Chain A
Amino acid sequence: MDNVLAFGAASSQAGRVDALFVVIAVVGGFFFFFTQGILIYFAVKYRRRLPDRDNVTPTITGNHLLEFLWILIPSLVVVAIFHYGWRVYTDQRIPVSGATEVHVNARQWMFEIKYPDGRTAINEIRVPAGTPVKFILSAADVLHGFYLPDFRVKMDMIPGRVTTLWVQPDRPGSYQIFCTVYCGTGHSNMLAQLIVMPPREYAEWVEHGGRAGGVAGGKEPLHERGERVVKGAGCLNCHAVDGKEKIGPNLRGLYGSKVPLEGGQSVTADEEYLRESIVDPGAKVVKGYPNVMPTFKTSMPPDDVRATVEYLKTLK
């Protein structure tokens, strides 16, 4: 889903922002060509042609009518643009009744999602198309941002406060969510998806437990499920599985290896170490890495933790 403004809008609200953008671009474009045109025209036309004639210029020190007009006209134009921008914005901010509510709590460096019925997810929000959605935004540690470019909306996520945002998802699809307020080392990896599903599929998905990663298959091998969990839980924001170093330790070849810890000891990465590192990451911190990983004790059910460990074992 590309996101050139005025193209690929994901909702009717977005279309109104795009219309405003185009209007400002047209007005600005007019003034651009008008002023630059005159600037260049004057510069070329009145360039000095004969070296000895340079002092023969008229003494023009001002023109009251002209100066009055070029204060008045831009003033009227900017008031009009202000008013237009304000109207579109106000309509975005008016509370919508009957909206599906989704709680999003940001922490370094993930979005934790909670639905009112108790379902949780990380970095993936699923909503049905056609129903307005109200995001209830908070932050656990530092400032974060919640930016849905395809919907043309954005709201800061502030520790100690709750902010809200409304969207009207009209078209099914997968839409990018960015963190837009700088929040530290993993800022640019703090990404999420808003998945807008056709209402029937959405209902089916909720019925099947509503887990991240879509409808859970009944006979899925444990390690495949683990891979799905790892992708869905935002682990890859900080950990690489291709041998590269990111914010956290690399996961490839981790199982069975000897891991040096903060404080001088070391530990062999067995099943129990991997499990503990997911539910209580501060217990054994790898040497040279900051102790910043949040716990997944409540957000990841034991089955998923087990599956994740099995997946990590396959990364050789």
Chain B
Amino acid sequence: MEGVGRPEAEGNDRGYLAERGWRSWAFTLDHKRIGAMYLWTTTAFFLIGGVFALLLRLELLSPQTRYFSNHTYNVFFTLHGAMMIFLFIIPAIPSGLGNFFIPLHLGARDVAFPRLNLASYWVFVAGFLVIIGSLVAPMDTGWTFYTPYSAKSAAAVTTLSLGLFLIGLSSILTGLNFIVTIHKMRAPGMTWHRMPLFLWSMYATSIIQVIATPVVGVTFLLLAAERLLGVGFYDPSKGGDPVLFQHFFWFYSHPVVYVMILPAMGIVSEVIPVFSRKPIFGYNAIAYSSIAIAFLGFLVWAHHMFTSGMSPLANAIFSFLTFFVAIPTAVKVFNWIATLYKGSITFESPMLYALTFIFLFIVGGLTGPFLGALATNVQLHDTYFVVAHFHYTMMGGTVMGFFAGLHYWFPKMTGKMLNEKVARVAWALLFVGFNVTFFTMFIVGTRGMPRRYAEYLPRFHTENVISTIGSAVLAVGILVMCWNFLQGLRKGAPAPGNPWRALSLEWKATSPPETENFHEIPVVTDWPYGYGTPKA
């Protein structure tokens, strides 16, 4: 790659962070600042959602409710789920890291529509403010809001629906922005097949966001109409059908798990080659499998509903299709592992998290067939097995990918280096805590413990105590990591322009990058994975 603004970019005092004062943030059109604001906001919700998770685990120390009432427990698991899903895991990587790095990866000065970008952040803020407003009558419906319970509940479900509608709108606007940006803003010479794989995964993610999110928006509007106007969409006493809600809900919420996981897969595809000093294995397969996942993800929603009384034929079709989502994800895993072959691997914290992603995601993936196969699904559905499977893919997968991205790009985003030793301690605590917490849930799930239970039979006691102990270790790991980030921000050593000697374009910008990223738009002559040759 030649013609880049500065030869091998050096550190930079403040870069895009130079301007100070709240106005310079609130009204910024800089994709990096908007990305940073998303990162702060979503990480805050991750921590709050995590506190709710710890309170749940605390209560589950004893079979009978001890610290909270059953109702409070139900509110807590609803808030944990809703916050983690809608306010953290969906927006964190796309809107946070995606906003920051898509233009840098493309060799562009910003996204295609900077004002729309800022608008989507403020729509997001409006959305979560409305959601916080709905806490005057906190919802206890579970994050799935199944009718008719949610239609009858005394909680502020209508307000909450409006908040989620706004969050969804923000998500659509961001997706739209990214699609146009990737189509139109690629630097000269950057063909589709010279794009970093993070861009392919973000492209697939954005397509899902634009197509699927309107459905859930409408679903919530219908729910609000049912509550406010008494129109019977879902409530059988008004002539509606509660299962219809489930179809609508999962038609969005299943594709959206790929909105959660695909960006993390993109990060892993970037990190693995850099720290193996090897070209990525099977570039095309990884790129097209992202698109395949986005497509197949729309065809499998009803696998959340095998016990909802659908006909056995419909169940069989959805089960069959579900198994085929496994193929493109498996292909990615094989490609990452093959990339390691004959590499020259180092284990800095981004690589540790990326390898952890692969390790935990394999566990999450291989427990999928138990739930995809009809007969075992009927047994395991709505038990802790599902909770464990979901957390292995989403926390073990997406969140580990997110952490990999944060550690990988921290020097670029802040211009400071992290303390590597502390990062490894945090990683070790996280890894142990995570597995103790969630692997136990597979066991208690196969023993038949239903989820969303404030109180449980004494026969499940041991597993729950172990799981709670694990969650405490996990929490300490997260705290150490956060402390490390704050220490790095305050007094980290100045970061060079390219501390990991990576080849994608963001590393050609200064650390932190300047307001419009590049002095001169770079000209691209090769793909970004030419590691292992002497010139790299």
Binding site for B on A (CB under 8 A): 2-5, 16-17, 20-21, 24-25, 27-28, 31-32, 35-36, 38-39, 42-43, 46-48, 53-63, 66-67, 70-71, 74-75, 78-79, 81-82, 84-86, 88-90, 92-93, 141-143, 145, 147, 149-150, 152-156, 158-161, 163, 176, 178-189, 191, 245-247
CA distance A49 to B49 in the complex (A): 42
In the complex, whether B50 has a CB less than 8 A from a CB of chain A is: no
- 15 intermolecular pairs with C-beta atoms under 8 Å apart: A2-B459, A3-B448, A24-B376, A28-B366, A31-B366, A32-B362, A42-B340, A58-B342, A67-B285, A71-B331, A74-B326, A79-B323, A149-B447, A176-B448, A185-B74
Closest Cβ of chain A: how far from B237's Cβ, in Å? 7
Contact partner of B343 (CB less than 8 A), chosen from A46, A145, A191, is A46
Verify B366–A55 contact, CB threshold 8 A: no
Verify A46–B281 contact, CB threshold 8 A: no
* Chain B residues, Cβ within 8 Å of A67: 282, 285, 331, 334-335
Question: Which residues B366-421 have CB closer than 8 A to chain A?
Answer: 366-367, 369-370, 372-379, 381-383
Q: A145 with B307: in contact, given A28-B369, A159-B237, A182-B452 (CB under 8 Å)?
A: yes
CA distance A222 to B308 in the complex (A): 43
CA distance A179 to B382 in the complex (A): 10
In the A-B complex, the 7 residue pairs with the smallest Cβ-Cβ separation, listed nearest first, are A85-B373, A160-B236, A149-B448, A57-B532, A89-B374, A88-B375, A188-B453
Which residue of chain B is the closest to A64 with respect to CB atoms?
B282
Verify B378–A60 contact, CB threshold 8 A: no
Verify B372–A85 contact, CB threshold 8 A: yes
* Chain A residues, Cβ within 8 Å of B149: 142-143, 182-184
CA distance A22 to B37 in the complex (A): 48
CA distance A5 to B358 in the complex (A): 28
Closest Cβ of chain B: how far from A72's Cβ, in Å? 10
Which stretch of B10-18, B309-317, B484-492 is in the interface? B309-317
Q: Mark B516-536, 1 if CB is under 8 A from A, else 0.
A: 000000000000011111101
Which residue of chain B is the closest to A151 with respect to CB atoms?
B379
CA distance A93 to B333 in the complex (A): 36
Verify A184–B344 contact, CB threshold 8 A: no
CA distance A17 to B531 in the complex (A): 49
Verify B355–A60 contact, CB threshold 8 A: no
In the complex, whether B363 has a CB less than 8 A from a CB of chain A is: yes
Verify A39–B359 contact, CB threshold 8 A: yes
CA distance A81 to B92 in the complex (A): 35
Verify A57–B308 contact, CB threshold 8 A: no
Which residue of chain A is the closest to B379 with respect to CB atoms?
A152
Which stretch of B24-32, B197-205, B256-264, B272-280 is in the interface? B272-280
CA distance A179 to B457 in the complex (A): 13
* Chain B residues, Cβ within 8 Å of A159: 148, 235-237, 242
Given contacts A17-B378, A70-B330, A86-B373, 16 further A-B contacts (CB under 8 A): A16-B375, A20-B376, A21-B379, A47-B347, A60-B338, A60-B342, A62-B284, A81-B373, A153-B379, A155-B307, A158-B236, A176-B448, A181-B382, A184-B149, A185-B71, A187-B70
Closest Cβ of chain A: how far from B505's Cβ, in Å? 20
* Chain A residues, Cβ within 8 Å of B114: none
